């Protein structure tokens, strides 16, 4: 994501997360940046750039947070295969 401004990156990340319902970790991996950067972009910077988009992405992030214990349990189940 080199060559674009932080503001543009924040909007692109938010749009990706909303469309794909991906997690912060998934978005970080897809775009080759750190989880911390993705989180800061979509949680803090985006509020100042585009508050409406920030609210939309917050809904997806809250859904992901509510479901993460389920994904963790499934991952453990797959790992041990019982």
Separation of alpha carbons 82 and 76, rounded Å: 10
Residue 43 lies in a domain: yes
Structural domain of 14? 6-80
The pLDDT value recorded for residue 6 is 95
Residue 12 lies in a domain: yes
Q: Which of 25-39, 45-59, 68-82 has the lowest mean pLDDT?
A: 68-82
Region 20-31 average pLDDT = 96
Q: How confident is the model at residue 82 (pLDDT cuts 50, 70, 90)?
A: low
Residue 32 lies in a domain: yes
pTM for this entry: 0.85
Region 58-62 average pLDDT = 96
The pLDDT value recorded for residue 81 is 85
Residue 17 lies in a domain: yes
Residue 39 lies in a domain: yes
Residue 22 lies in a domain: yes
The pLDDT value recorded for residue 75 is 86
Nearest to 39 by CA among 20, 59, 13: 13
Separation of alpha carbons 61 and 25, rounded Å: 11
- Virtual CA dihedral for 74, 78, 79, 82, nearest 10 degrees? 110
Residue 1 lies in a domain: no
Q: How many domains does the chain have?
A: 1
Region 6-35 average pLDDT = 96
Residue 65 lies in a domain: yes
Q: Which tokens hold the place of 8?
A: 């543009």
């Amino acid at each position: 994501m080199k060559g674009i401004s932080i503001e543009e990156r924040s909007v692109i990340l938010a749009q990706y997360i909303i469309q794909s319902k991906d997690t912060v970790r998934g978005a970080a991996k897809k775009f080759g940046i750190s989880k911390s950067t993705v989180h800061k972009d979509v949680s803090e910077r985006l509020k100042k750039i585009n508050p409406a988009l920030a609210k939309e992405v917050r809904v997806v992030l809250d859904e992901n947070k509510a479901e993460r214990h389920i994904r963790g349990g499934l991952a453990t189940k797959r790992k041990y295969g019982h």
